[in-house]
Amino acid sequence: MSGGVDSSVTAALIKDLKYDVFGITMQIWPSNENAEDTERFGGCCSLGAVADAKKVAFKIGIPHYVLNFRKVFEEKVINNFCQEYLAGRTPNPCVRCNEHIKFGVLLKKARELEADFIATGHYARIERKNGKFRLKKGVDARKDQSYVLYMMKQDNLRRILMPLGNLTKNETRKIAKNLGLPVAEKEESQEICFVSEGNYGEFLQDYLDKLPQPGPILNLGGEIVGKHRGLIFYTVGQRRGLGISGGEPLYIIAIDKERNALVVGPEDKTYSTQFRVEQVSYVDKPVTAPTKLKVKIRYQSEEREALVTPFEGSKALVELDTPEKAVTPGQTCVFYKSEIVVGGGTISSSNHSQPS
């Protein structure tokens, strides 16, 4: 229970189905000894969210517990987030949190507490067919969260309930209002919970306790056209904040960690037709031969038709039917077959042009 409307309605719906329900909120914010660190954590991770979750649990009449996952969250999510940025990649910490925290240590702890299932407020659907579980998109296309759940395995899916998958967000809020839940009108958090106001660069600079190293901005001919503040402040496809004036607008084409350089070029050079994906995970049957699927490279992006070709075990080459803008190493690529999540992985490279 994150203290938001989605997990609150989930708890109420599951209780109405006659399950014996108790609520868990994960404590993942830093030690209270450092007030500034605590203030960084917002949304589902704030101290206020815990208070809201307790109010909801009291309202619907279920026990509520707070479990300390602070250490493992820092190790698996925050540290990985920092190391990926230092490597010139742009990570998705929500995916890591789902894989290692919500459906890793939380699921394990729930089993230790003799719970048969954990129920979450994700907008996705789990269906069983022919003895196998399938992960499907939520019916509300604007809220579908299957993208951040691609790493789910059969053992996970058999122990998870997602009752909001068949609802729209408006229907969820209506249920919350009808039940008189105190979070019915609560706004959604749009940012990463441990990054204040979406300022990734400042967070990384403070957390790593080291100054980022400035370096050159190169054009596609290898010429120096500017100077950057430090690679952690930038991502592929970015235009604003480069400090380059005159001529045509320039965009970040690639982040060159080895040379501590940004590579920039015109907008048309930000498009890719193929890229590689690593650490590929499949929900059920793996793709073993070149297969036409739809792929999604960002949570809010549209799906694209593509040919997915596996290689070297847990890697895949994705060849797009139409070019996609700002294919970003470190981000997640998810494979779909109609409404079904086939699997996905982490983008490792694309065919953006780079100077020699």
Active-site residue list? 97, 193
Taken in order 38, 41, 45, 48, the sign of the CA dihedral is positive
- The Cα 90–Cα 329 span in angstroms is 6
Residues in the chain: 356
